[in-house]
Amino acid sequence: MKSRIFPLLFFILVIASSGCSVIETPFQSEMREKTDSITQRLESLSKETQSMKEDVDKFRADTSQDTEGLRQDMAALKGTVEEKGFDLERIKENMELISSTAQILDGRIKEIESPKEGKTGNEIYSLRETADELKSTVAALNERIKNIEEKQGAAKEETLTTDATSLYMEGLDLVRVNKDYSKALDAFQRFLSTYPDHELSDNAQYWIGEIYYAQGDWERAIVEFNKVLKQHPPGDKAAAALLKQAFSFEKLGAAKEAAILLKKVITEFPGTGESEMAAKRLKELGK
């Protein structure tokens, strides 16, 4: 009998001990589920917090890098504008890029001002101050560039005047000194083509007429002298051009036409050297 009871008791004890490890009360089960849920939520919040921290740290790093880069660019631009003032188009392109970046910085500031980011007032103020500094510097550089462009415009105009005078004197020397009429004609024609409204344009046109006169091309000389009278009527070469027109007609044997023009010189330009020469020549024609 004992031999049967002992195995039965042993089997009951094994079952009882096993039941204690796998069977739990409803209360224990509910508490375990709540604990697991809370643990999962904490883990999720921890991950989200870490992600947000990484985003904020990245934003700070990016903003700091952008700000420092912008400051370096602005310093470089200041030096370029103040020391050289050259390549303004490239400077303007860089300034547009900086202005655009400043606007982006404004947008970022608005983002971090939201409650979600939780940025402190000091951090926002610092970024806002940087953005305002960039805008102020860009405005100052724009004003400097404007002044430089005005100075460059004046310098360019002065250079053009100098170049025009040099070209005119080149043609004049070729006529008077070298007697190289072909090169002189080219120089004066280039002058008129490049500087048609220059104060010496009537002089250049007059010397073109003189070149043809010196070469014995009287008809072409008359045409060129007439351009002085038609295109530059208030010019100081009008009297000389009209006188040489009269001489050209005389060379062609048209004494009547020459006399008419000589009288016109005397009437329209009294008291001038050309008027005296015209009166003298008119007397000679009358003989």
pLDDT digits (tens, 9 = 90+) for 93-108: 666 666 776 677 667 6
Q: State how far the Cα of 87 lies from the Cα of 68, in Å rounded to an integer.
A: 24
Contact criterion met (CB below 8 Å) for 95 and 138: yes
Q: What's the average model confidence in pLDDT over 204-232?
A: 96
Which residue type is seen at 117? E
Q: What is the pLDDT of residue 23?
A: 54
Contact criterion met (CB below 8 Å) for 192 and 159: no
Radius of gyration of the chain (CA): 49
21-60: burial string, b at 16+ Cβ within 10 Å, e else: eeeeeeeeeeeeeeeeeeeeeeeeeeeeeeeeeeeeeeee
Confidence of residue 30 (pLDDT cuts 50, 70, 90): low
Q: State how far the Cα of 229 lies from the Cα of 210, in Å rounded to an integer.
A: 14
Q: State how far the Cα of 221 lies from the Cα of 212, in Å rounded to an integer.
A: 5
Confidence of residue 235 (pLDDT cuts 50, 70, 90): confident
Confidence of residue 42 (pLDDT cuts 50, 70, 90): low
**168 against 68, higher pLDDT:** 168
Residue 21 in this model has a pLDDT that exceeds 80: no
- The highest-confidence range among 64-73, 113-122, 197-206, by mean pLDDT, is 197-206
pTM higher than 0.75: no
Q: What's the average model confidence in pLDDT over 153-161?
A: 48
CA quadruple 29, 34, 35, 41: dihedral sign: positive
Residue 22 in this model has a pLDDT that exceeds 70: no
Residue 70 in this model has a pLDDT that exceeds 60: no
Q: State how far the Cα of 56 lies from the Cα of 112, in Å rounded to an integer.
A: 9
Confidence of residue 232 (pLDDT cuts 50, 70, 90): confident
**186 against 152, higher pLDDT:** 186
| Percentage with pLDDT > 90 across the chain | 40
Q: What is the pLDDT of residue 269?
A: 95
Q: What's the average model confidence in pLDDT over 233-260?
A: 94
Confidence of residue 234 (pLDDT cuts 50, 70, 90): confident
SS3 sequence of the chain: CHHHHHHHHHHHHHHHHHHHHHCCCHHHHHHHHHHHHHHHHHHHHHHHHHHHHHHHHHHHHHHHHHHHHHHHHHHHHHHHHHHCCCCHHHHHHHHHHHHHHHHHHHHHHHHHCCCCCCCCHHHHHHHHHHHHHHHHHHHHHHHHHHHHHHHHHHHHHHHHHHHHHHHHHHHHHHHHCCCCHHHHHHHHHHHHHHCCCCCCHHHHHHHHHHHHHHCCCHHHHHHHHHHHHHHCCCCCCHHHHHHHHHHHHHHCCCHHHHHHHHHHHHHHCCCCHHHHHHHHHHHHHHC
Q: What's the average model confidence in pLDDT over 229-241?
A: 90
Q: What is the pLDDT of residue 39?
A: 61
